Chains A and B, each alone.
Chain A
Amino acid sequence: MKAVAPAKAKKVKTNKTKEIWNLRLYVAGQTPKSIAAFANLKKICEEYLDGKFSIEVIDLLKNPQLAKGDQIVAIPTLVRKLPEPIKKIIGDLANTERVLVGLDIRSV
């Protein structure tokens, strides 16, 4: 379920940083919430991050020991590894506004 999605080039609103956005999505099996979260995340990234991102999906059912490292409690959890500082967003990412705030993408 590893997926890197370089999105098509589009007019981006927030493109001040030249960093690569390193995102990690923790899921536990193919639950509806996980699938929804991945779909929502992909959509948001493609829309706002202009291809400068990588998404790593980690299935805790396969790698349970990885949960400890990022202090994962809730599923699904999206972790912004880069740019610093680490940010966490839990839930199915259905609310785009909150995801943008959480990831600190939109700086109006």
Chain B
Amino acid sequence: MVKKKHDTAVLEKCPTGIKGLDEITKGGLPKGRPTLICGSAGSGKTLFAMEFLMRGIMDYGEPGVFMTFEETPDDLAKNFISLGFDLPNMVSRGLIEMDHVKIERNEIEETGEYDLEGLFVRLGSAIDSIGAKRVVLDTIEALFSGLSNAAILRAELRRLFHWLKDRGVTAIVTGERGDKLLTRYGLEEYVADCVILLDFRIDEQISTRRLRIVKYRGSSHGSDEYPFLIDESGLSILPITSLGLDYPVSTGRIATGIPKLDAMFEGKGFFRGSTILVSGTAGTGKTSMSATFADAACRRGERCLYCAFEESPSQIIRNMGSIGIDLAQWVKKGLLKFHSARPSLYGLEMHLLTFHKEIDEFNPQVFVIDPISNLSVAGTASEVKSILTRLIDHLKMKKISTFLTDLTHFTGSLEHTSEEISSLIDTWLLLRDIELNGERNRGLYILKSRGMAHSNQIQEFLLTNQGIDLIDIYTGSGEILTGSARAAQDAGEKASELVRRREVDRRIREQERKRNALETKIAALRAEFEVETEEVHLMADEEQKRQTVLAEDRLEMAHLRKGKPSSPQALRSKKKRKRRGR
């Protein structure tokens, strides 16, 4: 029960529909109450008020009254058509009622007591005619310059704000910034519920618009100064506070676009959603690396937002064509979008806001800034760091892989970014010049890469017409060689290798020949041996035959002698005898 009572007591809020404002006011402006918007000339008060009305009509179906004390409805219509607000159309559809209150001091004479009932009547009839829920009075302080009796005006303004509250309309009252007070005539005294201050500051010739909620009775609200942006889609405000370190991480990997570089990261490339920094001195190939990375992303069918701070998109496309990367095709397919601006075009906050807007609109998976070092012309180092921290936080929340390049100068250590952001970086590649033998060559190595094994080698970085290539630097015989020296060394090594190989071949062939010769000899010997063996066999046969014949002879002889063949001996002798007898 108590809780319910509490709920009803909570201030009702009226959403403005202005990007970011409802977040920092936690729901919008106090419903049914007047809010004071104050700021100096050109700070965007009228735009703020008009957008409040327009969003009310378009997003929340609440008609509104715009009572202008300065600009004529015609001028307003012309001014806001560029933001896509068609005022005459809205008026004709009965969604908005314009009333121009014009007070010419020179045609008005004041005699005695009066009140501003005429204004009340006009406002009341305007509200009733369209059933308005929102009212804008821009800038009611003009009354003070038109009418001289300040005492009456103050009393009447107090009455007006009470009256607006009684009518239950959510009102915006704008006021010009005063010297000591928030408004020139101290309007904040009367409009006590919610006061928003718009500021337009110029630091070092760069302007930044900022918004601050000075007070908001009965509600908590962001109390910082929030930068805001006015562009063709109206106002957008960006909460300045960092989002904390609770973003989700991915273990997915994405290719770097250079196979050899992937190999240096366990063969898989960067973590998806991580922040990659490439730093190096001028002309070391940072832009080429970013273009390769962007190209690889587009090849995977991902969208890539490329923020170029040094070169125009067409120049990048032309230059990258020379190393065999065709970025124009991706632009055509809508996968690659260039965002090109001079860093000094506007302040850092504005840059951040623009990045946010571009990211929200394009929804990329890969985001490239080339280079971040140029941002330092738009602010101090600490400001740049703050901006980049917030940007990187935002990108990490969205799991967008970020590729930053940083131009380091010859003075000082290379392992040092001008923006002191090394702690924000997950993977840091360093490109450096290696000067040897009157040549300058590019070397690449990995300075750090969180959460993965990575190669510690320095690779020679080559820009070819087929893209980027990495080559192992020659590190034999105790010295490091790059470029043509490495090539010469390689050639020399190749030559001696060839000589050695030939020698080996020659020896092998010789041995082969020897074996062949040996085998021929063996064959010859074997043939000789066989011939001899055959002869021996023949001799043996003959001998046997001879023996047989002898034996027969003997037998015959024996027969002849004794007439009685008794033994082979006798037989042989008989044979012998026979032979002799012949």
What is the interface of chain A, defined by CB distance below 8 A to chain B?
A: 26, 28, 31, 33, 60-61, 64-65, 67-68, 71-77, 85-95, 98-99, 101-102
Contact = CB atoms under 8 A, between A and B. Distances in A.
Contact of B118 (A74, A92, A94): A74
A17 B110 CA distance: 25
Contact of B122 (A67, A87, A95): A67
Given A74-B115, A75-B117, A85 B107 contact: yes
Contacts of A33: 113-115
A107 to B, nearest CB: 15
- Interface centre among B107, B111, B116, B120, by most chain A C-beta atoms within 10 angstroms, is B111
A31 B117 CA distance: 11
B151 to A, nearest CB: 13
A102 B111 contact: yes
B107 A90 contact: no
Interface string B28-54: 000000000000000000000000000
B111 A75 contact: no
B112 interface: yes
Contacts of A88: 107-109
Contact of B112 (A26, A61, A95): A95
Interface in B86-135: 99, 101-103, 107-122, 124-125
* Interface bracket on B: 20 to 34
Given A88-B108, A89-B108, A89-B109, A74 B122 contact: no
B143 A73 contact: yes
Contacts of A76: 114
Contact of A64 (B108, B111, B122, B147): B122
Contacts of B119: 73-74
Contacts of A90: 108-111, 114, 147
A94 B101 contact: no
A60 B121 CA distance: 7
Contacts of A77: 114, 118
Contacts of A68: 99, 122
A65 B109 CA distance: 23
Given A65-B125, A71-B103, A102 B109 contact: yes
Interface of B: 99, 101-103, 107-122, 124-125, 143, 146-147
Nearest to A88: B108
Interface pairs A-B: 9 shortest CB-CB: A102-B109, A64-B125, A91-B112, A75-B117, A72-B118, A94-B112, A91-B111, A28-B117, A92-B112
A31 B120 CA distance: 15
Given A75-B116, A87-B109, A90-B109, 6 more contacts: A68-B99, A68-B122, A73-B118, A74-B118, A90-B111, A91-B112
A68 B118 CA distance: 9
B121 A28 contact: yes
A65 B123 CA distance: 10
A95 B111 contact: yes
Contacts of B101: 71, 73
A11 B55 CA distance: 64
A91 B122 CA distance: 18
